[in-house]
Amino acid sequence: MDEKLGAWVRSLRTDSRNRCDFASSEQTRRDFAERLGLPALDWTAAAARDIASSTLAARPRFATAVGEQPTVVKGIEGGVLCVLASVHSGAVVDPATTLEVPETAREFVELGVPLPEVWATVRQAHRRLVDRLSTACQDLVPVAEQAAELQHMFRLAFECVDALVEGLGAAYAVESDRWQATAGAVREELVNAVLADAVQDFDTVSQQLRYELRHRHHVGIVVWHDDTAQLQNTALRWLEASGAQQTLLIPRGQSLLYAWGNRRSPFPASPPDFDGDVRVAAGAPSYDVPGFQGTHHEACDAHRVVRAMPGLADTVVPFAAVSLLAALSEDSSRLRRFVSDELGELAADDPNTRELRRTLRVYLETRNAKATATQLVVARNTVAYRLQRAEQLRGRGLEERLLELWVALILVDAMGS
C-alpha cells in the first residue's frame, strides 16, 4: 500500500473563528493529538459540533430524547477521531477503545434513547462526515491522487463506522443491564414501600416510578414463564390490550414478573384473553393507592392458587375466577385431606370417575335430572346411574353436607392428581 495514502488528514485545519472546546476526555485528546496533530483535532471539534447540530435538526425524535447537544457532540467527536486515525494509519482504529463509546452509551441508556434510534443517528452523522472529508480531500490532495485517496477514505470510514455501531451496541447492552439492575432495585424498593403503606408523599414516589398512583384506576397482574424476555413482552401486551395508559413492571427473579397498569377511567369488566405459554394471573381493577395495593394482592393470590392447583390450565386467570379457591387453599395438605374426607373414592383420578364427578356437579348446580341430562347430552337414565354410582363411591348420601360436597368437587379437579 502507498505509504502516502491518508497522510492528508494531518493537514486538516479550521478557521480560528470556528474553533470550539474539545468535548472528549483529556486522555482521548492527548492520544489522538499524537496521531493526528493538534490542528486536525481543532478541525474535528468544529466538525463534530456542526454535524451534531445538523443531525439533531434532521432527527427531532432523537433530539427530544437526548435533550442537550453535548452528549451527541462528544459521541460524534469520538467517532470522527477514530475515522481520521483509521484513514491516516490505513487500519481501523476501534472506537470501543476510547472512553467516549461507553460514556456515550451510558448517557443514552440513562436518557432512555432506544438503541435503533442511536444506530440510525450514527449512520446519518457518518454520512455527513464522509461528505466533509470528501470535500477536504479534494481541497488538500492533488487531482491525480484524489481517486485513490477517496477510495481509501471511503473504505476506512465505513469499516470504522461498522466497528463503532458494533461497539456502541455492546456498550449499550452492558450499560442497559447495569442501569436496569440499579433502577430496578430502586423501583422495587419504592413499590414495596407503597404496598406496605410506608409512603407519605405519593406524588414524589409517582414521579420516581414514572407511574401515577393517586386518582387512577389500577389493574395488577403476575406473569410467569421460564423465558424472561417473554415476561415483559406479555405483560406489556396484556396491559395495553386492557387499555392501560401507564405501566409499571417489577421483575421478581428470572421467571416471575409483577406488573401494573393504570388509566383515568375504569377498566373494562372482562380482562383480555391471551394464548400462549406465558401465564397471567390478574387482580380485579381498583382505584387509587388502595386499589394499587389490592389488585396486586389479588393477583398474587390468584398466582398462588394456580401454582398449587395444576388442574387450572387457563392462560389468563382472573382473581374472581379463583376467589373461593384462594380463600380455601392457604394450607394445601389440609385442603387435600378435606377433599379426601368429603369424596372418598369419588376423588380418584381416572376418566370414569372424573365423568361421575362432572355429572354430580352439574346436578348439584341445576338440582334437576332432566336439565343435567340436557346439558351433558345424555339420557336421564344415564344421569340416574351416574348419581347412584357417585353416591356409592363417596360412601354417604349425596344430600349430606351439600356445600362441602360441591366445594370438594370444585377443588379436586383444580388440584389435579
Task: Tell me the pLDDT tens digit for each residue of 46-66.
Answer: 999 999 888 888 887 777 666
- Tell me the C-alpha distance between 375 and 352, whole Å: 18
Grid cell locating 168: 456502541
Percent of the chain surpassing pLDDT 90: 47
| Predicted confidence (pLDDT) at residue 201 exceeds the cutoff of 50 | yes
- What confidence category does residue 245 fall into, taking pLDDT thresholds of 50, 70 and 90? very high
Question: Would you say domain 7-180 falls under CATH 1.10.490?
Answer: yes
- What confidence category does residue 1 fall into, taking pLDDT thresholds of 50, 70 and 90? very low
Q: Say which amino acid occupies 180.
A: Q
Q: Which residues, including other chains, have CB under 8 Å from residue 321's CB and lie 6 or more apart?
A: 302, 314
Query: Domain limits of the chain?
Result: 7-180, 216-328, 332-415
Mean pLDDT for the chain? 87
Q: What is the pLDDT of residue 412?
A: 85
* Among candidate residues 362, 360, 367, the one with its CA nearest the CA of residue 396: 360
Positive/negative CA dihedral, 320, 324, 330, 334: negative
Higher model confidence: residue 400 or residue 259?
259
Grid cell locating 196: 406496605
| Alpha carbon distances (Å) from 189 to 7, 185, 295, 361 | 57, 6, 19, 46
| Predicted confidence (pLDDT) at residue 362 exceeds the cutoff of 80 | yes
Q: What is the pLDDT of residue 47?
A: 92
Higher model confidence: residue 322 or residue 246?
246
CA atoms within 13 A on the CB side of 55: 28
- Tell me the C-alpha distance between 390 and 379, whole Å: 17
Query: From the centroid of its chain, how far is CA 293?
Result: 22
286-300: average pLDDT: 94
- What confidence category does residue 206 fall into, taking pLDDT thresholds of 50, 70 and 90? very high
- What confidence category does residue 296 fall into, taking pLDDT thresholds of 50, 70 and 90? very high
| Predicted confidence (pLDDT) at residue 148 exceeds the cutoff of 90 | yes
Q: What is the pLDDT of residue 329?
A: 66
Q: What is the pLDDT of residue 356?
A: 94
Higher model confidence: residue 106 or residue 236?
236
> Is the distance from CB of 192 to CB of 266 less than 8 angstroms?
no
| Predicted confidence (pLDDT) at residue 304 exceeds the cutoff of 90 | no
Q: How far apart are the first and last CA of the chain?
A: 76
Q: Say which amino acid occupies 260.
A: W
364-386: average pLDDT: 92
Higher model confidence: residue 275 or residue 16?
16
Residues 90-102 as b/e (b if ≥16 CB within 10 A, e otherwise) read eebbebbebebbb
Q: What is the pLDDT of residue 226?
A: 66
- Tell me the C-alpha distance between 149 and 375, whole Å: 85
Q: Which residues, including other chains, have CB under 8 Å from residue 268's CB and lie 6 or more apart?
A: 242, 243
Place domain 332-415 in its CATH homologous superfamily.
Answer: PucR C-terminal helix-turn-helix domain (1.10.10.2840)
Grid cell locating 281: 394471573
Q: What is the pLDDT of residue 129?
A: 94
